[in-house]
A and B are shown apart, each in its own frame.
Chain A
């Protein structure tokens, strides 16, 4: 497996009336061909902005100001719009959360589906239509020959999301970015869509960046996971390690705060106190400081780096707790707490 995407310490800023706001700060991860990475985190943690930065789909006031995005060996962080047009929809494509708003209501499914096919694959109108019907069948749409001439409002939410997937995969992209693809759907429909995505992934060897807030979806889909908090990656590892041995206090808190149907009856939910810091007023040190049960003095002052723990390359976290010398800090802190 060769490396397809390497996002290295990107910083995305938005210019606002109140001055520049940093939405994504030092986000790094990499992705091999055919691999799936999940970006998890709560609203406002920067997971969507990260993906929009890769796609160059940020609003006009937003831009990547630092870092690099290597796609297929080429830095696209500062690529020109003309170059991006060749990449978007062809090498990298995207599915959005709201299948209702991401389809154009006044064009038929066929019009929208064949647009990219004609442009990138250089097929004739007829060939493109046949190819589009084939794609619709592939994503499990019944009566594809009829549906292709329908307008989006005739389809249910699940069907629209299938159309979006067909559209995204039609040019056989190397990378698919799916931004909360099942959040707006009912659970039974979500199960259908996840199953479809798994099957398509096996067939096509497409790498996927899956953005979600649902750890259940992560466990179903991911090869590796990057947990994000307040614009930063706080923990990154493979999916099994993350669930078996989560390290960052935020990841731990998140895991314990999900009410799940497999939880024992009387288990009380662990909630993380407080709320996410505002982008206008980011703490100087660790951004989880206010809400962290293990917060130390050092966390207030110093910014933790995303580092592999114990030389194990595969598991990185952004926390002082797991640096050796800091273990002492922690015990001291605990003693203090007991004595006070």
Chain B
């Protein structure tokens, strides 16, 4: 992706924060905040796939949802083609939603069980008053074919489909309005391995054919590596590292990235006795994150400064938030 860097970013996330208040007592006093997303910034360029990875509770889904304003950010900006999604009116946002679509993790709960597939797919067109009934119908046929489903399926209900097929319907619905950016929130995590591959390949082909930009959220590093051009590694609401996929996997600079890559079981029994770096302890609660670097409680290299000072995200193309980033020689 060498040409990508020269283009204008399609979406810019600037110091995004999302805090959820913790309320207690009879009068629901706010006693604290869960810092789900805490000061996250990144740019997304047209045609690329940005992978967001991290363990549960790291804020990757909240970040994704904030990008299409399914969450109202507490602070910060989300600039889509220069417009700040966080501050525009609902009406304007509604118009912009034709460009911004989202695919959800669970294909079982994200499709209305009482609507036929044809109606489910035509709904975005009808809601945005973009097509007459017959036009919408034609469009539904066209999109169904693109995602690899027969147009006869139009009159069926979601429960008549398997998980993989439902996820195809979810993808078809996101494509109905010809969006520019699609947020894929763990689109394959709920699917079986052999079906995952089908959906990942479909997403990849669609991107090429329709010039789409993806934000791909997942906790499975394999899938993220397969589809992403660049990767953002998150931990406890903060960005730990951001670089091209190759850099992340070949020269990880943040100890957390290194540990995450290492924790992954390798499907090769000859490598089972390798020296594995296993990190002790659990992820701390986002309601009470550690002072200083949020990873210091589990980091094998933590020093005094890590407990005191929050490391800034620095670097040009390969950004890392660590006081003592790993040297390429060690990595």
Contact = CB atoms under 8 A, between A and B. Distances in A.
Contact of A158 (B200, B222, B268, B282): B282
Interface string A75-98: 000000000000000000000000
Interface stretch (B29-37, B85-93, B258-266): B258-266
Interface in A179-222: 186-192, 194-195, 213-220, 222
A214 B26 CA distance: 47
A69 to B, nearest CB: 27
A37 to B, nearest CB: 14
Interface stretch (B16-24, B74-82, B109-117, B273-281): B273-281
A272 B198 CA distance: 7
B287 to A, nearest CB: 14
B193 interface: yes
B28 to A, nearest CB: 22
B267 interface: yes
B319 interface: no
Interface residues of A, number: 45
Contact of A219 (B165, B222, B272): B272
Contacts of A273: 198
B301 interface: no
Nearest to A241: B269
B270 interface: yes
Interface in B182-228: 192-198, 200-201, 219-223, 225-226
Interface string A248-263: 0000011101111111
A269 B197 contact: yes
A186 B201 contact: no
Nearest to B267: A215
A242 to B, nearest CB: 8
A43 interface: yes
A188 B262 CA distance: 9
Interface string A228-247: 00000000000110010000
A187 B260 contact: yes
Interface of A: 42-43, 156, 158-159, 186-192, 194-195, 213-220, 222, 239-240, 243, 253-255, 257-263, 265, 268-273, 275-276
Given A219-B268, A259-B225, A272-B194, 7 more contacts: A190-B263, A191-B278, A192-B280, A194-B265, A213-B193, A259-B226, A261-B225
Which 9 pairs from chain A and chain B are nearest by CB?
A216-B265, A271-B197, A257-B197, A259-B222, A259-B226, A42-B192, A186-B55, A191-B263, A272-B194
16 contacts: A186-B283, A191-B279, A192-B280, A195-B278, A216-B265, A216-B267, A243-B268, A257-B197, A260-B222, A260-B266, A260-B267, A261-B225, A265-B245, A265-B246, A268-B201, A271-B198
